[in-house]
A and B are shown apart, each in its own frame.
Chain A
């Protein structure tokens, strides 16, 4: 029997709401299209003090907000890996960049035209040096994410892993990230991961 790993913490950000372990943590009353204001409200709600947040693209903002909740102000092991996935890659920022191409393009927009930049932003904020990977797939593939995460943990390549889904298109976002550790109550299996993801998506 292989080693056992656990889903230690779960964060969900969707439809102006933030859930932590399936309990509502924060809900904005803003119009759903006011995505940037929602991020600002959530930033204030979490009492973050990280001016760089406001320079980031929307995907990175989602990643910073989500991991802030997952890590709960605790210093993470330097060898924490990030295994993320989504469907729309960095299309939100790509479109902003594309729309500016016939004028003078913004360097600070251009640098976010890759989905894995969010991994770098999270790693910088929390001083993580573990492996990171960003998969693009049509939908949330719990089996693939669970397998990849399991290999990282089983082989000792990572002490902990943050894994899941972080998608964004046309001001619609769907974030589901889990902190996978070596202690906890809920077993880390692809079935549990799938159930947690679809709990709110059905």
Chain B
């Protein structure tokens, strides 16, 4: 369980170029957008790409992202259920 969360943090930091953040800086239940990690709308699109590339999950409705990209915990829960790779 926690391995997926760590893996997600590593991928997010790398793919979103969050140069000044480390895995330890992101809490599992911290909001990814707004006052938390501070991701923006382009980052949201990158997260959709990340889901497809790394876990074979294709979001057909970008609005779904609002419910999935809430926190690392929420993302991990969604991936565990829907991953195809």
B45 within 8 A of A: yes
A32 within 8 A of B: no
Report how many residues on chain A are interfacial, defined by Cβ distance under 8 Å: 11
| A107-B62 Cα distance, complex, nearest whole Å | 13
Are B45 and A107 within 8 A (Cβ)?
yes
Are A51 and B19 within 8 A (Cβ)?
yes
Are A54 and B17 within 8 A (Cβ)?
yes
Are B19 and A108 within 8 A (Cβ)?
no
Residues of B34-54 at the interface with A, using a CB-CB cut-off of 8 Å, are: 38, 42-43, 45-46, 49, 52-53
Are A108 and B53 within 8 A (Cβ)?
no
Are B45 and A51 within 8 A (Cβ)?
no
Interface size class of B (residues with CB under 8 A): 10 to 19
A34 to chain B, nearest CB (A): 16
The answer, among A40, A55, A106, A111, for a CB contact under 8 Å with B49, is: A106
Are B20 and A108 within 8 A (Cβ)?
no
| A76-B16 Cα distance, complex, nearest whole Å | 30
B51 to chain A, nearest CB (A): 10
| A42-B53 Cα distance, complex, nearest whole Å | 33
Are B19 and A106 within 8 A (Cβ)?
no
| A residues adjacent to B (C-beta < 8 A) | 40, 51, 53-55, 104-108, 111
| B residues adjacent to A (C-beta < 8 A) | 16-21, 38, 42-43, 45-46, 49, 52-53
